[in-house]
Amino acid sequence: MRIVGLTGGIASGKSTVSNLFKANGIPVVDADVIARNVLKKGSGGWKRVVAAFGEEILLPSREVDRPKLGQMVFSSDSKRQLLNKLMAPYISSGNFWEILKEWVKGAKVIVVDIPLLFEAKMDKWTKPIVVVWVSQETQLTRLMERDGLSEEDARNRVMAQMPLDLKRNKADIVIDNNGGLDELHQQFDKVLSEIRRPLTWFEFWRSRQGAFSILGLVTSGLFVCKQLN
């Protein structure tokens, strides 16, 4: 099974690319969805985060006020690191189970969409790594327009993440999303062809089909040995 890592930065267009993969029949494990589930009222992650940040981050419904929590952690390195530390085990576990589900279904290629791909060391488990890149100026402009943020708030959120230029240097494939949707689609078509290429031997043996092949070979070998004895 080929596990493709997809990452980018806030307002880079990563979610658009993720949706393009889904539209083309490629299963996507979305770490943002997993993170939202981790913070659902009453969950283990919810309890740890509320204990660390206090009940002022809760809505009247007792669900986490995500914008308020975001504003709190994006303005403080220590609080952001604490939140990431608290949630990391739950998100890693969620990623594992979602990947396993796709493996059981027989998927040959899946995409893991995770903003903190490098920070969470998930890059060691994904190949190729696709980075959706934009200039910082474009990133700030899109973020302010999308979320109605001031330039200072937008800059704080951008600076809280690993720089996109650094992610680009670590990537196997870079999608330059400074242009329009037509340009993005043209680049995506090339990426799609690349990740749909035939599996390597390692990727094949990691797939469900490969695992069954190994099981079949071992079973056949044991049967032959038994007959010889």
18-46, pLDDT tens digit by residue? 999 999 999 999 999 999 999 999 999 99
Half-sphere exposure for 141 (CA within 13 Å, toward CB): 6
Long-range contact list for 34-39, CB < 8 A, 24+ apart? 34/90, 34/91, 34/94, 34/95, 34/98, 35/87, 35/91, 36/66, 37/94, 38/87, 38/90, 38/91, 38/94, 39/63, 39/64, 39/66, 39/87
Give the pLDDT mean for 146-153.
92
Give the pLDDT mean for 187-203.
92
φ/ψ of 2, rounded to 5, equals -95, 120
Range name among 40-49, 79-88, 149-158, 200-209 with the lowest pLDDT average: 200-209
pLDDT digits (tens, 9 = 90+) for 203-220: 877 776 656 555 565 555
pLDDT digits (tens, 9 = 90+) for 167-190: 999 999 999 999 999 999 999 999
Rounded Cα distance between 111 and 126, Å, is: 9
Residue 223: pLDDT over 60: no
What integer pLDDT is reported at residue 199 of this predicted model? 86
| pTM metric for this prediction | 0.86
CATH homologous superfamily for the domain 2-197: P-loop containing nucleotide triphosphate hydrolases (3.40.50.300)
Containing 109, the helix (H) or strand (E) segment is strand 109-113
Residue 83: pLDDT over 90: yes
What integer pLDDT is reported at residue 226 of this predicted model? 61
Region class of 171: left (phi > 0), else alpha (psi between -120 and 50), else beta:
beta
What integer pLDDT is reported at residue 202 of this predicted model? 79
